[in-house]
């Protein structure tokens, strides 16, 4: 029976949070720094006032009281993008210290009693100031800051582990309230009572490195999909074997050796239990260490989909969300000449309350895309996706001025009074940006198709807007002043997004002009790719440059669109199988997917996607060179960074999930199960199979750490920007500190999560028909797990079976063939017109590619031959029925340029699901 998630906002199990574990840690040593009995050593800075009151205290007679208004009139130039829309000021209580050395201690502890009538979410932050060799806060104002949430009208215990921070010359501890406004029904004056500041020593959390946290097993907290690879990782556990135990029966279902394996990033204890295919709840035990329960299930990711939708529901703007906020920001505006739009609606973008077109549009697209996938298999989920998708769609349509200009980005970091004309109004100018209009056109066109039957009027409106937005983008790109007028985006990204919009509009209208534009955009994408092996010590191909001139390798820091060109090509391959450029598109996706597989060897056993290749002299920004040189040396001047080169904005969830979306799209075309496994590793990284064994999705799994969500509070399903690195290093860094933006709630990774689920969630449905009366079963043997499923046909010969993704050997009536199944697809297995084709040998002889194929069939087989950098004398071969016998045929193609990558694709009987590659 499926769990229901329909009552939003979803509840969060506090006992599974990292905060609960931190507060439960035994204190080894403690020093009372201040009991707040007098003002000695305290300074008040900023707005509000600081006093000492005897109204309440944790112990003693008094406590420190910090009081402030929630906002004040401060003029900020709307063109000052760093400060416009940000908090009005800060009230700071600073405890001064005289350069003390706290290196022997690793935790701060204090108590806060907040009084804020009408507030649903209460937030403060604390700052550690160090003036030693390494100073904090750092130059980016990130290190040394820690945000926390408080429950109203009670004493809250705040603990902050500072083991990751320099503390050899401490000069101060600041406890700070930020003026972030108030909802109309809440107080405009806040008060915080603070007491008992202590310095403590505890057993600190693991915060840096590839090694697994001591005494822990790194595993996928949600669990593992049946039919897939299943493993866990550890370091330093005293055990030679591990066991998997069924939680419900307490039965040990599997015992295997713990393998010790070395990789580029270290030595690990590896626990593989891929063969375990029974559904249920399990734990892993190795020596005296065991995991929390996890599941093995055919639809393992379903719960994460529901929780991600819950996040978007909680992030709704202009809507009363129970426990989070009322109908907000009714005075938020966007102007275009003498026109004006109220722009509340859609979803708040992150831990603040900002709103942007890209994340809203891409979330909307992902919701409709996934809804279409699950419509028949999961009606409950379908309805929820449509409901939430329409909420985003409304904002996309609402905030367009109808001439290419629209609300693109609007910063908002406080609650407003909802009254137009007061000093807390925030107004942004509309912009006409081609990338934004391509993005919206894709979402609008897809929504038009999905909603055609259930909401035909809205469907027509969406299609009208999609056509217009697409044309606005085309016209803007053709304008002579494009580069000066519009924000720049890499050509490969812009054309990828544009091609997807063109394809969706072609599907919605059948108008060939959209297809022709998509073909043109695909050519730009291909011209941006490295297709010849560079003269490097470790040569890599398949990666992209920003533009066809290839003067800058494509990188992303914390916000990635790496999926854009690849998803577009995958859609073209599926939609236009007979196009003249089909094989070239295919070569492009093959090169990129192989590139991802190759570079991921450097992060084994986690399989986290590395960031990018960097050229040592492409930037003179401070620390750039040092960051690059901490990567993997490929040659003189070129390095592969496992994490990006970055500065203020850090966190790699967007990068790994965007690459996962790219690869999952390509895996469906290339029918490659290893690609699906690698995509699942990115999900698992976010769900606990990382060095810290922490789930990054709040409310899912275990030990999920607080995220920066100062305005909306904790939300089940939220993902932060992601794991970062410290300073110039290239190793994972995940301190207890809770600060933007690496630990900030951000809907962009959640957009990718939903879009990924269209490719990774669920099972495949295989159907077929045998001759009536045949009693022999059809066997499906999963080549990854070794599990066999026998299927019996109905009396009329028809059969249907639901199977997990994977490669299967199908056996029936002394016949055998191999098929690859991908999640969510319907696969028709024709055993009456049977054929099996195996690529036996591939070789290169001078300038020829020679492919030997072994064929068994009881029907004629037509082979379509497609080549990139290869030509065939005939594009189609016909092979007569072999009547159950095995024959070998040879296919030869002429290689046009041996210095470039070449590839042949062989498609039997027009069935792209059974294609074979030859390279």
Would you list the domain boundaries of the chain? 26-201, 223-297, 302-760, 764-826, 835-918
Residue 326: other Cβ atoms inside 10 A: 18
Tokens 């909680």 sit at which residue?
314
Query: pLDDT tens digit string along 575-586?
Result: 999 999 999 999
pLDDT over 80 (residue 297)? yes
State the Cα–Cα distance between residues 179 and 124, nearest whole angstrom.
10
What is the assigned CATH class of domain 835-918?
mainly beta
Same fold, 223-297 and 835-918: yes
Quick check: 370 pLDDT over 60? Answer: yes
Identify the CATH number of the domain defined by range 302-760. Answer: 1.50.10.10
Is-above-0.85 flag for pTM? yes
Residue closest to 53 by CA, chosen among 125, 115, 96: 115
Nearest one of 880, 771, 761 to 824, comparing CA atoms: 761
* Higher pLDDT, residue 197 or 140: 197
The count of C-alpha atoms lying within 13 angstroms of the C-alpha of 142, restricted to the half-sphere facing its C-beta, is: 19
Decide if pLDDT at 6 tops 80. Answer: no
Task: Give me the architecture of the 764-826 domain, per CATH.
Answer: Sandwich (2.60)
Q: Is the pLDDT of residue 51 over 60?
A: yes
Q: Which of 35-39, 273-277, 700-704, 750-754 has the lowest mean pLDDT?
A: 35-39
Choose which CATH entry (2.40.100.10, 2.60.40.10, 1.10.238.10, 1.10.287.1080) describes domain 223-297: 2.60.40.10
- What local confidence, expressed as pLDDT, does residue 795 receive? 87
75: CB partners within 8 A, 6+ apart: none
Looking at every residue in the chain, the average pLDDT score rounds to 96
Residues 585-619 as b or e (16 or more Cβ within 10 Å = b)? bbbbbbbbbbbbbebbebbbbbbbbbbbbbeeebb
- pLDDT for 771: 81
Residue 1 reports pLDDT greater than 50: no
Q: What is the pLDDT of residues 825-841, one digit of tens each?
A: 999 998 888 999 988 89
The pLDDT of residue 488: 75
8 A C-beta contact, residue 586 and residue 660: no
* Distance, CA of 237 to CA of 260 (rounded, Å): 11
Q: What is the pLDDT of residue 98?
A: 97
* Topology adopted by domain 26-201: Jelly Rolls (2.60.120)
pLDDT of 3: 58
If you compute the radius of gyration of the chain from its CA atoms, what whole number of angstroms results? Answer: 29
pLDDT at 60: 85
pLDDT at residue 481 above 90? no
Is pLDDT at 93 greater than 70 in this prediction? yes
**Interval 551-557 mean pLDDT:** 96
Compute the Cα dihedral for 539, 545, 551, 553 and give only its sign. Answer: negative
Q: What tens digit of pLDDT does each residue of 779-817 get? A: 999 999 999 999 999 988 899 999 999 999 999 988 899
């Amino acid at each position: 029976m499926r769990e229901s998630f329909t009552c939003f906002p979803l509840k969060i199990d506090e006992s599974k949070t990292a905060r609960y574990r931190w507060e439960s840690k035994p204190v080894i040593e403690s020093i009372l720094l201040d009991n707040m009995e007098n003002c000695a050593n305290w300074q008040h800075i900023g707005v509000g006032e600081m006093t000492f009151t005897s109204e309440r205290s944790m112990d003693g007679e008094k406590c420190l009281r910090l009081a402030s208004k929630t906002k004040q009139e401060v003029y900020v130039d709307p063109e000052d993008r760093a400060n416009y829309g940000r908090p009005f000021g800060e009230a700071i209580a600073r405890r001064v210290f005289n350069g003390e050395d706290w290196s022997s201690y690793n935790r701060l502890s204090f108590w806060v009693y907040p009084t804020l009538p009408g507030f649903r979410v209460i937030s403060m932050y604390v700052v550690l100031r160090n003036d030693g060799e390494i100073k904090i806060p750092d130059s980016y104002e990130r290190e040394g800051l820690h945000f926390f949430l408080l429950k109203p009208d009670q004493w809250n215990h705040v603990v902050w582990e500072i083991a990751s921070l320099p503390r050899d010359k401490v000069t101060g501890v600041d406890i700070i309230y930020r003026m972030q406004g108030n909802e109309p029904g809440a107080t405009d004056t806040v008060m915080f009572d603070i007491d008992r500041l202590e310095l403590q020593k505890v057993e600190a959390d693991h915060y840096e490195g590839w090694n697994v946290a001591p005494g822990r097993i790194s595993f996928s907290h949600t669990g593992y999909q049946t039919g897939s690879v299943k493993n866990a990782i550890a370091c330093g556990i005293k055990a030679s074997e591990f066991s998997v135990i069924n939680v419900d029966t307490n039965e040990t279902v599997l015992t295997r050796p713990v393998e010790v394996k070395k990789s580029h990033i270290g030595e690990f204890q590896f626990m593989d239990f891929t063969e375990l295919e029974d559904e249920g709840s399990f734990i892993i035990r190795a020596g005296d260490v065991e995991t929390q329960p996890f599941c093995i299930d055919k639809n393992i990711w379903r719960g994460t989909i529901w929780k991600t939708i819950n996040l978007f529901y909680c992030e709704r703007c202009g809507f009363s969300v129970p426990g989070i906020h009322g109908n907000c920001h009714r005075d938020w505006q966007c102007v275009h000449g003498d026109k004006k739009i109220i722009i509340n609606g859609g979803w708040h973008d992150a831990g603040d309350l900002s709103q942007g077109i890209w994340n809203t549009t891409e979330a909307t697209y992902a919701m409709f895309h996934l809804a279409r996938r699950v419509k028949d298999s999961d009606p409950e989920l379908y309805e929820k996706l449509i409901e939430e998708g329409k909420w985003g769609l409304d904002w996309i349509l609402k905030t367009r001025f109808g001439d290419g200009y629209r609300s693109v980005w609007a910063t908002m970091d406080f609650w407003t009074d909802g009254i137009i004309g007061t000093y807390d109004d925030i107004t942004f100018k509309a912009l006409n940006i081609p990338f934004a209009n391509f993005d919206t056109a894709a979402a609008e066109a897809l929504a038009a198709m999905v909603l055609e039957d259930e909401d035909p009027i809205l469907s027509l409106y969406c299609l009208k807007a999609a056509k217009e937005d697409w044309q606005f983008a085309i016209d803007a790109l053709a304008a002579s002043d494009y580069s000066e007028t519009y924000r720049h985006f890499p050509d490969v990204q812009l054309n990828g997004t544009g091609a997807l919009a063109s394809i969706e509009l072609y599907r919605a209208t059948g108008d060939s002009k959209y297809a022709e534009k998509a073909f043109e955009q695909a050519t730009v994408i291909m011209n941006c790719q490295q297709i010849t092996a560079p003269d490097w010590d470790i040569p890599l191909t398949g990666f992209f440059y920003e533009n066809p001139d290839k003067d800058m390798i494509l990188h992303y820091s914390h916000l990635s669109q790496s999926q854009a060109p690849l998803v577009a090509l995958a859609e073209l391959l599926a939609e236009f199988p007979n196009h003249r450029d089909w094989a070239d598109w295919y070569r492009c996706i093959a090169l990129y997917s192989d590139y991802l597989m190759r570079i991921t060897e450097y992060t084994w056993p986690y399989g986290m996607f590395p960031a990018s290749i960097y050229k040592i002299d492409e930037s003179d920004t401070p620390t750039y060179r040092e960051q690059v040189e901490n990567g993997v040396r490929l040659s003189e001047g070129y390095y592969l960074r496992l994490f990006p080169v970055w500065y203020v904005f850090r966190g790699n969830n967007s990068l790994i999930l965007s690459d996962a979306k790219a690869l999952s799209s390509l895996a469906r075309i290339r029918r490659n199960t290893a690609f699906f496994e690698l995509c699942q590793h990115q999900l698992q990284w976010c769900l606990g199979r990382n060095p810290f064994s922490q789930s990054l999705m709040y409310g899912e799994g275990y030990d999920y750490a607080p995220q920066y969500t100062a305005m909306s509070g904790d939300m089940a399903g939220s993902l932060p920007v992601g794991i970062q690195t410290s300073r110039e290093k290239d190793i994972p860094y995940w301190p207890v500190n809770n600060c933007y933006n690496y630990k900030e709630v951000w809907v962009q990774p959640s957009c990718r999560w939903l879009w990924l689920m269209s490719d990774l969630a669920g099972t495949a449905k295989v159907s077929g028909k045998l001759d009536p009366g045949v009693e022999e079963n059809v066997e499906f043997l999963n080549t990854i797990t070794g599990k066999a499923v026998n299927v019996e046909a109905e009396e009329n010969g028809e059969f249907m079976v639901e199977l997990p993704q994977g490669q299967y050997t199908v056996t029936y009536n002394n016949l055998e063939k191999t098929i690859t199944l991908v999640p969510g697809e319907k696969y028709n297995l024709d055993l009456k017109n049977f054929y099996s084709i195996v690529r036996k040998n591939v070789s290169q002889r001078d300038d020829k590619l020679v492919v030997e194929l072994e064929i068994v069939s009881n029907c004629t087989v037509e082979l379509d031959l497609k080549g990139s950098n290869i030509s065939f004398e005939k594009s189609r071969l016909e092979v007569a029925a072999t009547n159950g016998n095995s024959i070998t045929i040879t296919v030869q193609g002429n290689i046009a340029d041996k210095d470039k990558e070449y590839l042949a694709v062989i498609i039997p009987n027009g069935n792209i699901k059974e294609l074979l590659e030859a390279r």
